[in-house]
Structure 1
Amino acid sequence: MRLKTTKNEEKKAVEEERRCVNCGRGIKTLFVQYSPGNIRLMKCDNCKAVADPYIECEFMIILIDLILHKTKAYRHLLYNMLNLDADDTKGVFLKSSFVYFLLDACRISLISNSRDDWDSSGSPLVSIWTCGKVLMDVLLGNFVFISVIVLGTKFLLDLSLDITRCKEIMLAILISSYFKLFLIAMMVWEFPSSVLFIIDVFVLSSNAVALRVVTQLQTAGCLAVCFGAHAAKLFTDRWVLHLLSGVTMRKMLLT
């Protein structure tokens, strides 16, 4: 009975562990609160620096450092704010996945609009077919994307993976794709198609930094894995859109 209690206490200690944003080592307490608004930041036992100075920073400063691709900001976001080491990240994972797939559908819609792939007849069947094309493209493209990320991390980076580790990596990839939020602005206002390319490049580099933070591997290897995943997804998107557009054209010719 004593042994069981000890294991539960150890598990709870691991779940409550945070990370030093400087060296990435685990630290149980980031700060000590003496009274409301009166805290003292703790120092890391490994690097002897303040474990997480972002605790006292405004969110806008954190966002700027995320845009600048600072690994410290990504460690703060992924481990000290969201706590990827915890077991109760199911809600965050589901919400992040929903937003990610929704923004990806917006991206496919923008690409289709730029190519005049949509049929303006206003028929309900055409609308259903159009939504089906977007859904198929999003699901197939992201299936290829996730497969390349997992396989590349396992074989190219030679990292052993389990279910928990895969979930941690995918959650980091989803959250680091936050720059796709600018696609909402493109749905409202007109932007040149080159902005899509800029957003894709920024998301790729952000994914590489997040993968490096989670796996603690070399930047070049993480960038290669993310580049391969995005290239495979882009190829799948182009192939699916071309294939389904050809099917639509043949149906229009037959009718």
Structure 2
Amino acid sequence: MKYRCVECGHGMNTLFVQYSPGNIRLMKCENCKAVADKYIECEIMIIVIDLILHKPKAYRHLLYNVLDSESLNFQNLLWKFSFGFLLLDAYMCLNINNVKDRSLFICRSKEEWGLSTSIASFIWTCQKVLMDVVLGNFVFLATFLLAMRILLKTSIGSLRYKDILLAILISSYFKMCLVAMMVWQFPSSVVFIIDLYVLSSNIVALKVITESALSRCVLTCFSAHLMKFLVTQALELRTL
């Protein structure tokens, strides 16, 4: 079955019946007898708010009923989300240590840049960030998949790799709040708060897509985020 009921996760062949343009009737789930997907008639802001509130119903709507791999250019969408994720992750790395050399790339004006920082220092800073992002996310993904096999007893064969990756990318949407740091200055602790929120959002998305116990999903996501944190901190200490 191609769709899911947002209330119980039961498979659905169709979510609504359209009688005429703008005239539809929402289908009810055979399992829970509730409306299968009430978000079809909701405004986008209601869906966003429910995603922020970590409601599994909103994640089921988005992951199963909206992002359909058969009707969308799924591969192209996955690449776009991946690029955006890595870009925001790089910006997060630049803001973690804003009292160090990384902050020079973001906070200083062009005049200060020319007086205090050379081109070699700029290239070195970019190399550090690139290494943190690439290696950190590689370790994150590898740990995540390994933890899935051990804790969730889930193989890539039963859940498609691209579906799992897309769920993690989408549930990391809160990193977009970093864009506000380009306009307003925030303490560096905000970056860690955003990272914790992303962790909790990843847990909800993983629970929805695997239908596993919450405790196992927490351990899976936490172990992946912890390994990524340890690797980036080890790289930071090495460059000091």
- What is the aligned partner in structure 1 of residue 79 from structure 2? 94
Report whether the alignment pairs 1:21 with 2:6: yes
In 1: Cα distance, 2:32 partner to 2:69 partner: 22
In 2: Cα distance, 1:183 partner to 1:214 partner: 27
Question: How far does residue 49 in structure 1 lie from its aligned partner after superposition?
Answer: 1.1
In 2: Cα distance, 1:114 partner to 1:219 partner: 38
- What is the aligned partner in structure 2 of residue 129 from structure 1? 124
Contact 2:95 2:102 in 1 (8 A): no
Report whether the alignment pairs 1:77 with 2:62: yes
- Given the alignment, which residue of 145, 154, 159 partners 2:140? 145
Output the TM-score relative to the length of structure 1.
0.85
Sequence identity, in percent? 57
Output the TM-score relative to the length of structure 2.
0.90
Q: Which shifted more, 65-74 or 85-94?
A: 85-94
Report whether the alignment pairs 1:47 with 2:32: yes
- Given the alignment, which residue of 227, 230, 237 partners 1:232? 227
Which residue type is aligned with residue 180 of structure 2?
Answer: A
In 1: Cα distance, 2:71 partner to 2:238 partner: 42
- What is the aligned partner in structure 2 of residue 167 from structure 1? 162
In 2: Cα distance, 1:65 partner to 1:85 partner: 25
Q: 2:201 is paired with a residue of what secondary structure?
A: helix
Q: What RMSD in Å do the two structures reach over aligned CA positions?
A: 1.8
Structure 1 gap ranges (5+):
1-13, 247-255
Contact 2:28 2:36 in 1 (8 A): yes
Greater Rg, structure 1 or structure 2? 1
In 1: Cα distance, 2:4 partner to 2:19 partner: 22
- Distance verdict in 2 for CA 1:208–1:199, change over 3 Å: same
- What is the aligned partner in structure 2 of residue 218 from structure 1? 213
Contact 1:118 1:130 in 2 (8 A): no
Per-residue deviation, residues 180-216 of structure 1 (Å, max 9, x unmatched): 0001111321111221121111100000000001101
